A = this chain, B = another copy of it.
Amino acid sequence: MGGDLAPDEIVRGAAEASLSLGAEIILVGDAAVLGRILPQLRHDGARVRVHHAPARVEMDEKPAEALAAKPDASIAVAADLVARGDGDALVSAGNTGASVLACARRWKLLPGVRRSALAAVYPTELRRGDKDDPFSLILDVGATIDASAEDLVTFAVMGSAYAKVVSKNRRPRVALLSNGAEAGKGPAAVVTAHELLLATTELNFIGNVEGLDIPRGFADVIVCNGFVGNVVLKMLEGVSETVVRLARYAHKERLAWRLGLFALSSAIDQLKQITDWQQYGGAPLLGFEHLFIKAHGRSNAHAITNAIKVANKALAGNLCGTIARTMAELDERRRLAAPVAPTP
């Protein structure tokens, strides 16, 4: 029921996924509404069913208040279904804050994970992995605000696992976002995380990257706290808008530039399509025993099918299990490396 084009485009995307992906889908929401839309669409009846939830969280509602006022909102009911094993993963294009909160309240964190992270993919020039994937992953982009050094290491493990399992990148290059490439640069949490990551042989840590390096794509996974990640992601989302605005400034500034702006305008429309990377799947919420894929609020049917495809891939590759295993390995290595207490 969530998303700018819900419920029509969401149901359409799910119907398509039941056919092309063979995914089994539970549509959670107003049964009367969903029951009207679904029969009009080509779908695999054995693979799609409706689970009634009488309420819904609107896109602009405050997450905590909305969930308190509507315990039977579709996102809450859906997160419950997954928590008790009736579903394997959750996909939603609705209110991001409410979705993350609904999951956080019902799902258990994986052993060793202290804080979940919302990851986002964005296109870069460099390609990577078996599928020449042009996307880099950045996390956390806003599941929480702050992150300790240990949290940043956990984010690195989770992002790396996602790149391996979903992007089929065998040895993802992981970097820390900082204000300089040198090891000593950044706030205390980043400096300590850098030291910890250098010792983490389970990961392919390439060091610090700066703001300028983000779109370059040298790193497959960029790790930062949720506050910085959110600012960065919103700047990335606005890159084509930024260009239009700067071009308008040029426009006023010099006659000759108007021609450039005219030439630019169609190219910018195309750039907008590439930079609107949310269409290529969605943002995974990582760190819980279950997976949540947050599709963009503007998702159409195609974007929803893609988000379901990503969830499918993550399940097939046992993403959550991979994260848990790596966290256990890290813990074991640290335990072994810890100095033995002297006999009293």
A contact residues vs B (CB 8 Å cutoff)? 123-125, 134, 142, 145-146, 177-179, 186-187, 210-212, 214-217, 226-228, 230-235, 237-239, 241-243, 245-250, 253-254, 257, 260-261, 263-264, 266-267, 270-271, 274-275
Contacts and interface: CB of A to CB of B under 8 A. Distances in A.
Given A211-B238, A215-B241, A261-B267, 6 more contacts: A145-B186, A210-B234, A217-B245, A228-B228, A231-B231, A250-B274
A116 to B, nearest CB: 16
B187 A145 contact: yes
A214 B227 contact: no
Contacts of A142: 179
A257 B123 CA distance: 16
23 contacts: A125-B246, A145-B187, A178-B227, A179-B230, A210-B234, A211-B232, A211-B234, A211-B237, A212-B234, A212-B238, A212-B241, A215-B238, A215-B241, A217-B245, A232-B235, A239-B242, A239-B243, A246-B275, A249-B274, A257-B267, A260-B267, A261-B267, A263-B264
B231 A177 contact: yes
Contacts of A145: 179, 186-187
A25 B216 CA distance: 41
Stoichiometry, as copies per complex, reads 2
Given A145-B179, A211-B232, A228-B227, A271 B246 contact: yes
B250 A271 contact: yes
A100 B178 CA distance: 19
A231 B232 contact: yes
Contacts of A270: 250, 254, 257, 260
